[in-house]
Amino acid sequence: MNAKQRQKIFTNLQVHNPNPTIELDYTTPFELLIATILSAQATDKGVNKATPNLFKVANTAQTVLNLGEDKLKIYIKTIGLYNTKAKNIIKACELLVEKHNGEVPNSRLELEALPGVGRKTANVILNTIFGEATVAVDTHIFRVANRTGLAPGKNVLQVEKLLLKNIPKKYLLKAHHWLVLHGRYTCIARKPRCQSCVIVDECEYTDKNLD
C-alpha cells in the first residue's frame, strides 16, 4: 500500500466520522483506566453495563480501596476474568495512592507498572486522556491493519510500529478510534461488510465481499 492510498483511507474515515471516540463510558481518567482494564477479553458493551453502578460508589483509587476486593467483585462479576481483574484493580489503586496521589500517570512506564495495565491499555489512556498520538492495537485494529495492507505484521507490536510509521501525521491522533470502530462494525472477522466499506477502493484484501 502506497502513501496515496493511506492518505485516502484516513481522508474517507474522517469524512464519514469526523469525531471518533472510545465506546467505553467514563467521566474521569481514573474511570477510563478501570473500564479499560475491565475490557480486556470482554466487550465494551458488557463493561458499560457494569461500571455505572460501580462508579456511583467508587470512582477514585481511594474509594475503590475502601470498597475492597470482595465487594468490588460483586460489581464486576458479569465481566470475564473478574476475579483476576478485581485483584489487579485493587493493586493498581494501591500504587496510584502510594505513588501518584491517586491520579492516573501520564507516562507509559508508570502506566505499565500498574497491575492489569499492558501496552494496549497504556496506549488507550495515553491517546484518549493525554492526547498522545499513539495506537492501541487490539484484535480489531490488528485485523484491519493486516487485511487492508495498511500495516501488515505478525504481532501487535509490529503492527503498532508500522501504523505509527504509515499513518499520515495529521490523522494519527484519531486513527486509533477510526480503526477500532471500522474493525468493530465494518471490517468484521467473518464476512467483512465490504459492500458498505468507505475505504474499499484502497483496501488490498483479495477476497472482498461485494455481493
The per-residue pLDDT for range 95-112, each reduced to its tens digit, is: 999 999 999 999 999 999
**DSSP tag of 195:** G
Task: Report pLDDT for 206.
Answer: 83
Question: 29-86, pLDDT tens digit by residue?
Answer: 999 999 999 999 899 999 999 999 999 999 999 999 999 999 999 999 999 999 999 9
> Using 50, 70 and 90 to split pLDDT, how confident is the model at 211?
low
Question: Residue 3 burial (CB < 10 Å; 0-12/13-18/19+)?
Answer: exposed
Q: How many domains does the chain have?
A: 2
Which of these three, 128, 150, 185, is where a domain ends? Answer: 128
**156-207 confidence digits (pLDDT tens):** 999 999 999 999 999 999 999 999 999 999 999 999 999 999 999 999 998 8
**Domain boundary residue among 100, 128, 156?**
128
Q: Are residues 139 and 109 in the same domain?
A: no
With respect to residue 210, please indicate whether it lies within any of the assigned structural domains: no
Q: 117-122: long-range contacts (C-beta < 8 A, 24 or more apart)? A: 117/33, 117/37, 117/92, 119/156, 119/157, 119/160, 120/156, 121/33, 121/36, 121/37, 121/40
DSSP conformation letters of 132-160: -------HHHHHHHHHHSSS--SSHHHHH
Which CATH number characterizes residue 164's domain?
Answer: 1.10.1670.10
Same domain flag for 115 and 33: yes
**55 plus 119 within the same structural domain:** yes
- The CATH number for 104's domain is 1.10.340.30
Whether the CB-CB separation of 170 and 7 falls below 8 Å is answered with no
Query: Helix, strand or coil for residue 62?
Result: helix
Catalytic residues: 120, 138
* pLDDT value of position 208: 82
Same domain, 67 and 151: no
Residue 92 lies in a domain: yes
Considering the domain architecture, whether residues 124 and 140 belong to the same structural domain is answered as no
70 & 105 share domain: yes
Residue 157 lies inside a defined structural domain of this protein: yes
Kindly report the pTM of this predicted structure: 0.92
In a domain, 143, yes or no: yes
* Residues 59 and 117 placed together within one structural domain of the fold: yes
Question: If we measure between CA atoms, which residue out of 199, 144, 193 comes closest to residue 208?
Answer: 193
The verdict on residue 64 lying in a domain is: yes
Which of 113, 128, 143 finishes a domain? 128
Residues 55 and 110 in one domain: yes
Instruction: Look up the domain containing 43 and give its range.
Output: 29-128
Task: With CA atoms as reference, report the closest residue to 201 among 18, 13, 9, 15.
Answer: 9
